[in-house]
Amino acid sequence: MNLHEYQSKRIFAKYGIPIPKGEVAITPSQARDIAVRLGGPVVVKSQVLVGGRGKAGGIKVAQTPDEAEARADEILGMNIKGLTVKKVLVDQAADIRSEIYLGAVLDRARRRVVLMASSEGGVEIEQVAAETPEKIVTVAVHPFLGLRDYQARILAEGIGLPKEHTRQFIKIAKGLYAAYMGSDASLAEINPLVITGDNQLLAVDGKIALDDSALFRHPDLAEMRDPDSESPAEVTARRHDLNYIQLDGEIGCMVNGAGLAMATMDIVKFYGGDPANFLDIGGGAQADKVATALGIILADEQVKAVLINIFGGITRCDEVAKGVLAAIESLNADVPFVVRLAGTNEKEGREILAEANFPTATTLAEAAQLAVAAAKGEQA
């Protein structure tokens, strides 16, 4: 789950990281009022969960409250990469002398949280990594020791930060690490961290991505989720603990296990079809969860055939079969289904489907070919 800029920066502030004064507006007149309160030039920033807001015209400077209202009027309602802007952050404009990057991320290979700094602020770190990797300095943090001052000093020195800022930089780096750990983040970045005209470090923009698996211990953060950043189908899926991603094809796929779901999509494509979605019902799904999953797939009007591929381990095939029949009955489904059940309780599962005169496939290859043919209107 990703947090908005204003949410991320508020968390940073809680951990002692300096951020510009600012407030969120949902109407142009609110933006004007905020600009009046802040005094002086402001930046009006669209709050949508995509990158490249600036390039899309979603971030604008305003010298006066009138201008702030006009800019907010332009930005609110704007469509940025498919998302409608519903909120703007109105921040006091910073007097920027130079920009750096500071981020925290989980390094899978080192199995540590790593702090990264770069002299190239305001640019996506992925781009820096690809073009000038020597400009990125990293330190790995031992979980039982936490981030130590010397490590932050290594970062500051490595990016050539003027010595007068080292002290404040250490404080910010430790704040960022604490924010990362305290919110169970998977990514926390300040980009850019700027040096202002009066020689202060200031977190002008920031981003936090949270580990969904840890949200159970952060109900306050879980509430920050922006429902507009997900399609209704994705919201339903998440509420039922299903992993669903909508794609552009015509073959709805319901699979247990992420790896098998991806392999199923690959095989559908191999036989000339296009998957309509990625859907992993997870381990141990019960009949009602299966029915919900099918409901989500069938709500997609592009779907011309449904391929169900279950290899039961912790998931029991008889539960899946019951769910499939219940869903088809209640949803009045008129698209063709191809079901492939194998593994735990497969015999019971197949019997349940056979009693309802439901066609089943034995192998994944066979099932994928049948589904592709069915989607093209051929007899399965």
Partner 1 sequence: MSILVNKDTRLLVQGITGREGAFHTQQMIEYGTNVVAGVTPGKGGEWAVGNTPVFDTVMDAVNATEANASIIYVPARFAPGAIIEAADAGLDLVICITEGVPALDMVEVRAFLDTTNTRLIGPNCPGIITPEEAKVGIMPGHIHTKGHVGLVSRSGTLTYEVVYALTSRGIGQSTAVGIGGDPIIGTTFLDVLQLFEDDPDTEQVVLIGEIGGTDEQKAAEFIANRMSQQVTAFIAGQTAPPGRRMGHAGAIISGGEGTAAEKMAALKAAGA
> Could you list the residues that contact partner 1 (CB under 8 A)?
106, 108-109, 111-113, 126, 129-130, 142-144, 181, 184, 186, 211-214, 216-217, 243, 245, 247, 255-263, 265-266, 269, 275, 278, 280, 282-284, 310-314, 342-344, 346, 363-364
| Phi/psi of residue 90, nearest 5 degrees | -105, 110
Give yes or no: 180 in active site.
no
Nearer to partner 1, 30 or 246 (CB): 246
Nearer to partner 1, 258 or 356 (CB): 258
CB of 372 to partner 1, least distance (A): 14
Nearer to partner 1, 69 or 189 (CB): 189
CB of 203 to partner 1, least distance (A): 22
Q: Which of 6, 15, 101, 244 is catalytic?
A: 101
Nearer to partner 1, 197 or 232 (CB): 232
CB count within 10 Å of CB 343 equals: 15
Biggest CA-to-CA distance, the chain: 78
Check: CB of residue 84 under 8 Å from CB of residue 78.
Answer: yes
Q: Which of 5, 69, 99, 189 is catalytic?
A: 189
Give yes or no: 189 in active site.
yes
| Phi/psi of residue 249, nearest 5 degrees | -80, -165
CB of 13 to partner 1, least distance (A): 22
Nearer to partner 1, 213 or 357 (CB): 213
CB of 119 to partner 1, least distance (A): 19
Nearer to partner 1, 111 or 163 (CB): 111
CB of 295 to partner 1, least distance (A): 19
Catalytic residue positions? 101, 189
